[in-house]
């Protein structure tokens, strides 16, 4: 396989937004999500660690409506039940969540299943169990409430070379520090604050996507 090319996958992780509703009224949160969609994000994950199942489901329906208007796949963090109930396009599971193979079994072959990996063995296992893409990091410390363990760029690159599915770099990335990923065979980046906490999420997404697409060495879809 050309190291800079991947066969067309289910998930385009070029600019992958993971949401953060902390401190936002629902209306403002949904407005920011829509602006990000207009700005060109390619994949969207709804992540709500503190909400009840019912609240999570109701919000997922609203976010799904927005994402569908812009033809952007919506993934649900961790909760396969919410993904199924809300008609989402798939899930993302972390190392402490439901195993990839079980998420795939429950969702079937057509939905997107993404997984977090921090080592080459974890990445290979996730791919073998049916993951469609990997999120690898954190490359930098994050400002979200999620506890992160930093991942060296060398490890990120080794994972990219070891698997045949797209890899998104995650963790504290923004337009100002993307240069650390130059000549890394990633397929894209996953961000939270670099879009959700900006004054103009639409423009932030647009500029970030341009910067990601300009990274030398990035893997492209064939």
User: Which residues, 6+ apart, have CB-to-CB distance to 55 below 8 Å?
Assistant: 48
pLDDT digits over 4-39, tens only?
556 568 899 999 999 999 999 999 999 999 999 999
Note the pLDDT tens digit of each residue in 137-178. 999 998 765 567 899 999 999 999 999 999 999 999 999 999
Q: How many CB atoms lie within 10 A of CB 35?
A: 20
Taking alpha carbons only, the member of 189, 142, 183 closest to residue 42 is 189
| Pairing label, strands 167-170, 74-77 | unpaired
What is the arithmetic mean of pLDDT over 36-62? 97
Find out if CATH 3.90.550.10 is the number for domain 5-221: no
C-beta separation of 117 from 126 below 8 A: yes
CA angle 186–126–215, rounded 5-degree value: 5
Band (pLDDT 50/70/90 cuts) for residue 1 is: very low
Q: What does pLDDT average to over the chain?
A: 94
* Ranges of each domain in the chain: 5-221
Asked if 48 and 59 count as a contact pair (C-beta separation under 8 A), the reply is yes
| Contact call for residues 134 and 116 (beta carbons, < 8 A) | yes
Q: Which residue has the tokens 């407005």?
A: 31
Neighbours of 153 (CB within 10 A): 17
């Amino acid at each position: 396989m050309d190291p800079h090319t991947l066969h067309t996958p289910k998930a385009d992780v070029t600019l992958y937004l993971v949401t953060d509703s902390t401190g936002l009224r629902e209306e403002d949160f949904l407005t920011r999500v829509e602006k990000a969609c207009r700005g060109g994000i390619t994949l969207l994950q709804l992540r709500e660690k503190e909400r009840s199942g019912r609240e999570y489901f109701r919000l997922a329906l609203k976010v799904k409506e927005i994402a569908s208007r812009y033809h952007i796949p919506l993934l649900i963090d961790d909760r396969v039940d919410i993904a199924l109930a809300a008609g989402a396009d798939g899930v993302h599971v972390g190392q402490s969540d439901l195993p990839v193979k079980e998420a795939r079994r429950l969702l079937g072959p057509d939905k997107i299943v993404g997984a977090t990996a921090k080592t080459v063995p974890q990445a290979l296992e996730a791919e073998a169990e049916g993951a469609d893409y990997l999120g690898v990091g954190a490359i930098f410390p994050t400002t979200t409430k999620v506890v992160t363990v930093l991942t060296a760029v060398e490890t990120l690159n080794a994972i990219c070379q070891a698997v045949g599915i797209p890899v998104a770099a995650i963790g504290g990335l923004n337009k100002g520090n993307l240069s650390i990923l130059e000549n890394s065979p990633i397929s894209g980046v996953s961000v939270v604050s670099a879009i959700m906490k900006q004054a103009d999420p639409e423009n932030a997404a647009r500029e970030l996507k341009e910067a990601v697409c300009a990274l030398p060495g990035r893997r492209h879809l064939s």
